[in-house]
Structures are given as structure tokens and as C-alpha cells.
Amino acid sequence: MNTFGIIIAVITVGGVGLLIGIFLSVFGNVFKVETDPVADAIEEALPGNNCGGCGYAGCSGLAAAIAKGEAPVSGCPVGGEPVAEVIAGIMGVEADASGRQVAHVKCKGTCDLTFNNYNYEGVKDCRMANFVPSGGPKSCDFGCMGFGTCVAACEFDAIRIVNGVALIDKDKCRACGKCIDACPKHLIELIPYKAGYAVDCMNKDKGPLVMKVCKTGCIGCSLCAKECPKEAITVDDFLAHIDQDKCVGCGLCAKKCPKGAISKLA
């Protein structure tokens, strides 16, 4: 190829590149999606886990909702109070720390307080074991199987198995809700971080049946409900439940419970 041909090729390639650049620039400006700078700043402050624990489709969804005033500045369970304070600063409002929640396992049927109906040799996964007879080997069909499916689901190392039952570290918990989704027995719920007491049972059988399978299960006797001065406890399906909005943490229910099914939270 002679020198003239090389020059023509260079000019042609350069011209095509220039035209493509101009086209992309014009195309980008025409179809540019305008973003909310406030939402962008909020998203930058969020941890970026995209766990969905806030109820929105990832951090961008929550950021947009906060910017529009459709979600509270404390809406990120993973970021907790530090992130809420940063977002409150962006929005020019006060951060409300009272909304922090943590996961709580509604069972304390340890190996000492329950027993196994048979030896389970299958996959050590609660979801798999839930399909075997009686929903797992433990004597209580409603209780924690202790195989740690919730432990595997937690990204924050906030759950461990202690003596056959899942235990939550409330200071590590970010209330993302993944453990709730992972538990086939539906034993995990979110409660206020500052909650004083909680019922550690999910067995809805009548008292005599409960006592046959667990030494600490709720027998639905209603003594706790009768003792509560704030009417914060109800008993449905032979199982006590504490309304945390009404509970003042006096502890009278725990003292009255004959089975020790109500625990003081650390």
C-alpha cells in the first residue's frame, strides 16, 4: 500500500470514529434520564446490600421513596441508626431511632428441654428436614430444628445455633428479614430493638400436648394475660402473644408463666 492509500485509510477511520462519537453524544443527550440529586445522595449513603429488607427493590428503590417522602429516613434496616442520621441530614429532618428492629426466634426448646423422636440422617437443612415425618426429628413439630438454615442466610453473622436452637445477636442483627424467609417453621419475627420481653414458643397445640413434647412450651393458660396491667398480652390458638406497642417491660408476665415460655430480652 502506498503512502496516499494509508493517509486515505487513516482519514476514513478517523472520520467514521468522529461521526460515531457525535452520534452517541447527541443520542445520549436526547435520551438522557434525569435523576433526582437528593435520591442519588441518599443512595450513596445506603450500604448497597440490595437485600430488600426495607420492602423496596434494592437501595435505589428505597432512596427514591425516601426522597419523595414515601419512606422514613430510618427505612434501611441494614444501615441502622448511623445511616439514618446521614440520610436525615440530607433530607433536613430529625432521625427517629425508635424504629430499629431485630429478629427474634420464637423457640427455646433446646436439646435439654425437648427430645428427638428418631435419628435424622438426611441433609442438615431445615427446609429439607421439614419434609420428613413430623416436620423434623424434634419432639415439637413447631420448634426450631437447629440445622442452621437461618445461619447460612444471615449476611451479618448475627445468628448461631446454641444447644439445638437458633439464637440472635441483636447487636449484629440488621433486620434484613432473610432469616425470616429461610425458616420453614416461621419461627422468626421482627420485634423492636428495645423490646423487654417476648414469648419463646410457636406451639399452637393444647397444653397437655405441648407438655409432652417440650418442658418450656406455652400451654395457653392465660395467666400472663391476666397478670399484664397494660392488656398487652392475648392468647389465641392456645398461644400467648405480646403486643410490643403496649408492653412496658414490667416483667410480671414472665414471673407468672408456669413454663418459663416468656423471656426477658438482653
Q: How confident is the model at residue 4 (pLDDT cuts 50, 70, 90)?
A: low
| 17: in domain | no
Distance from C-alpha of 96 to C-alpha of 115, rounded to nearest angstrom: 44
Instruction: Please answer whether residues 116 and 122 qualify as being in contact, where contact means their C-beta atoms are separated by less than 8 angstroms.
Output: no
Instruction: Please answer whether residues 81 and 101 qualify as being in contact, where contact means their C-beta atoms are separated by less than 8 angstroms.
Output: no
Q: Domain boundary residue among 194, 221, 251? A: 194
Instruction: Clarify whether residues 47 and 131 are in a common domain.
Output: no
Q: How confident is the model at residue 203 (pLDDT cuts 50, 70, 90)?
A: very high
Domain count, the chain: 3
| 61: in domain | yes
| 29: in domain | no
Instruction: Judge whether residue 5 has pLDDT over 90.
Output: no
Instruction: Clarify whether residues 91 and 123 are in a common domain.
Output: no
Instruction: Clarify whether residues 161 and 214 are in a common domain.
Output: no
Relative to beta strand 197-199, strand 188-192 is unpaired
pLDDT in tens, 220-251: 999 999 999 999 999 999 999 999 999 999 99
| 10: in domain | no
Q: Domain boundary residue among 194, 226, 255? A: 194
CATH number of the domain bearing residue 113: 3.30.70.20
Distance from C-alpha of 57 to C-alpha of 63, rounded to nearest angstrom: 10
pLDDT of residue 33: 55
Q: Mean pLDDT: which of 73-77, 80-84, 134-138, 234-238 is highest?
A: 234-238
Closest listed residue to residue 176, CA positions, set 52, 46, 48, 45: 52
Instruction: Clarify whether residues 134 and 68 are in a common domain.
Output: no
Phi-psi region of 254 (alpha: psi -120 to 50; beta: other; left: phi over 0): alpha
pLDDT in tens, 144-162: 999 999 999 998 999 999 9
| 137: in domain | yes
| 5: in domain | no
Instruction: Clarify whether residues 113 and 185 are in a common domain.
Output: yes
pLDDT of residue 53: 78
Q: How confident is the model at residue 34 (pLDDT cuts 50, 70, 90)?
A: low
Instruction: Clarify whether residues 104 and 90 are in a common domain.
Output: no
pLDDT in tens, 159-195: 999 999 999 999 899 888 899 999 999 999 999 989 9
Q: Domain boundary residue among 165, 194, 223? A: 194
pLDDT of residue 133: 87
| 124: in domain | yes
| 127: in domain | yes
Domain that holds residue 46: 37-99
Instruction: Clarify whether residues 224 and 172 are in a common domain.
Output: no
Instruction: Judge whether residue 31 has pLDDT over 60.
Output: no
Instruction: Clarify whether residues 117 and 69 are in a common domain.
Output: no
Q: How confident is the model at residue 2 (pLDDT cuts 50, 70, 90)?
A: low
Instruction: Please answer whether residues 199 and 243 qualify as being in contact, where contact means their C-beta atoms are separated by less than 8 angstroms.
Output: no
CATH number of the domain bearing residue 60: 1.10.15.40
CA angle, 71 as apex, 65 and 77 as ends, to 5°? 105
Rounded to two decimals, what is the model's pTM? 0.74
